[in-house]
Structure 1
Amino acid sequence: MIRLAACQYAIEHLPTWPAYAAHLRELCTAAAGQGAQLLLLPEYAGLVLSAQLPAAECADLHASMAGIQALIPAWRALCEGLARELGVYLQPGSLPVLDADGQYRNRAWLFGPEGELGYQDKLIMTRFERETWGVHGGRQGLRSFDTALGRLGILICYDNEFPLLARTLAEQGVDLILAPSCTDTEAGYHRVRIGAQARALENQIAVLQAPTVGLAPWSPALDENTGRAGLFVPPDYGLPADGVVAQSAELCPAASQWLLAELDLAALKRVREQGQVFTRRDWPEQWGVV
């Protein structure tokens, strides 16, 4: 049994580095203090760093993305330090990173008690990212992360809506997919959530979703945010009949809230061996009937 924490992350205006660092420390300490072993923040949570830029840069979609690049090394060090200090695995959401090829990518790092474990880039970009913002898809494919809690994977927001991505992680032996998300409408939130639940069903794995919430008129990228945190599993023996282990009570709380939930990995594995259905095992059969 492992204890997970997914944050409904309210976008706040934190205009200085000390204010931001204190905010992130307080948030993570609160979850760890409730016994959470893994903490998940949402897609583009790191873009809150743009509040530290001059007002004109902060209000400009492209300038704000460029302006936070100088802050990313300190941000990574802060996240690594918190994971080590609190003895947790921390996926602090994602942020746009300027790569060596001159393109921006939506990147999510994973940190643990032993330090930085690596990162996963978002692979398939939304219309806003590719047509308006200029954020590009990752080129290094999907990777899994071996941790003391089990093998993890990360699918950022829209990537959860594509079955073959989760299937690739399942074939790598992943038991839990982390799904940081950022959606401005309720429909967008449900698209990701339905995708997350479908991926859990198809692969008989767990998916943990953490969304942004609230209004941020000071940020052209994070201006409106809607979503609930949730932990999803396949509906089967020993697991919830609707596949929902836990979900946030409110759609858009006024302040950041943690959803804490227990995940029984042994029960999840038993379903793959003794469940009512074997969707994970039977996946290849669909190619022979269509």
Structure 2
Amino acid sequence: MTMPVPLSPPSSARVACVQFGMRAYAAFEDFERHVAFYVRAAADARADLVVLPEYVSIGLIATWPPTSSHDGIRRLALESPRVIELMRGLALTHGLTLVAGSHPMVRDGVLENVAVVCLPDGDVVLQPKLHVTPNERRAWGFSGGHELCVIDTPRARIGVLVCYDVEFPEAARALSDRGAELIVVPFCTDDRQGYHRVRYCAQARAIENQVYVAMAGTVGVLDGVPNMDVNWAKAAVLTPCDYGFARDGIAAESEPNEETFLVAELDFERLRAARAAGTVTPHLDRRPDLFPFTLLIR
């Protein structure tokens, strides 16, 4: 489900991207306080949309006795209803859209890495990660999802590509073709080269689709959680490279590897003008007749 489509498209939005420090929690309440702090701070900054990173809840595995990576991630999946209810409550309380990171979930007997989008009216949309990395398959047993959601929020039509998904141009193009003007990328990378794979592809998606891209990742060291040792990130809001935008296509970015959040203003009227009459117009000029493909869109 999605929010009703506004009578006229939103002209702007303020987005906050949380660069989230990994912690080995002693109890669920510690995780709740950690997340609530950042959502409250973003709301105080008048953010319309808040982005948390991939695997935001994985520190909860440390609350249980040591176990294998497979067993730990499946036990964490059992907590997904509680995590979703927490995130949904925060979105309702603060009257904003919360892209609440991703969480392991078992759906139809299959373990998936699922992003949770909580809308200010209480609705929740689930977006599975479509492409899982070799490490996710090997260490945790994840499978990729099969649906791609275009989500109408009060301030923007968005799509969510979880980390590795942004490295595949087809998914972003499908979202853009169906009206998404903001692509949100929750990510978790453990080293600089992993981060830059995600970052450079996110910048390319912003340029080739003439969309905004907001990305938020995890930072710090996490002890007590198998297969989640170190994290490297730099949150960013990216734009097309054209007049009216920053020359380097970076609206805002954080310092690397510091727990913090950034806020950026998105001007959708400027984006639409660039799509219609920019220096180049890749959103209009692509040749779908040369590259047909079919993708399930909900």
The TM-score bracket by the shorter chain reads over 0.9
The answer on 1:283 being equivalent to 2:283 is: no
After superposition, where does 1:86-165 map in structure 2 within 5 Å? 86-100=94-108, 102-139=109-146, 141-165=147-171
Per the alignment, residue 251 of structure 1 pairs with: 256
Per the alignment, residue 20 of structure 1 pairs with: 31
In the TM superposition, what is the alpha-carbon distance from 1:116 to its structure 2 partner?
A: 2.7
In the TM superposition, what is the alpha-carbon distance from 1:285 to its structure 2 partner?
A: 7.0
In the TM superposition, what is the alpha-carbon distance from 1:286 to its structure 2 partner?
A: 8.9
Aligned 8 A contact 1:46 1:92 in 2: no
Q: Give the fraction of aligned pairs with identical amino acids, expressed as a percent.
A: 38
In the TM superposition, what is the alpha-carbon distance from 1:112 to its structure 2 partner?
A: 1.4
In the TM superposition, what is the alpha-carbon distance from 1:274 to its structure 2 partner?
A: 1.4
| Equivalent residue letter for 2:136 | E
Aligned with 2:123: secondary structure?
strand
Aligned 8 A contact 1:216 1:222 in 2: yes
Per the alignment, residue 206 of structure 2 pairs with: 200
CA distance in 2, matches of 1:287, 1:70: 45
CA distance in 2, matches of 1:33, 1:285: 43
CA distance in 2, matches of 1:106, 1:69: 9
TM-score (norm 1): 0.93
Structure 1 gap segments, 5+ residues each: none
Q: In the TM superposition, what whole-angstrom CA distance separates every residue of 1:51-75 from its partner, at most 9, and x where no partner exists?
A: 222x223xx2111112123322111
In the TM superposition, what is the alpha-carbon distance from 1:7 to its structure 2 partner?
A: 0.9
The answer on 1:61 being equivalent to 2:74 is: no
In the TM superposition, what is the alpha-carbon distance from 1:279 to its structure 2 partner?
A: 0.8
Structure 2 gap segments, 5+ residues each: 1-11, 292-298
Aligned 8 A contact 2:48 2:96 in 1: yes
- Considering fraction of residues, name the structure with more helix: 1
Aligned 8 A contact 2:66 2:224 in 1: no
Aligned with 1:169: secondary structure?
helix
Per the alignment, residue 269 of structure 2 pairs with: 266
Aligned with 2:66: secondary structure?
helix
CA RMSD in angstroms comes to 1.4
In the TM superposition, what is the alpha-carbon distance from 1:186 to its structure 2 partner?
A: 0.3
The correspondence for 1:191, drawn from 178, 185, 197, is 197
Distance 1:135 1:44, change over 3 A: same
In the TM superposition, what is the alpha-carbon distance from 1:12 to its structure 2 partner?
A: 1.0
Aligned 8 A contact 2:24 2:223 in 1: no
| Equivalent residue letter for 2:85 | A
Q: In the TM superposition, what whole-angstrom CA distance separates every residue of 1:4-49 from its partner, at most 9, and x where no partner exists?
A: 1001111012211222212211121011111111110111112222
- Stretch of structure 1 that moved more, 205-214 or 130-139: 130-139
Per the alignment, residue 11 of structure 1 pairs with: 22
CA distance in 1, matches of 2:37, 2:139: 34
CA distance in 2, matches of 1:148, 1:104: 31
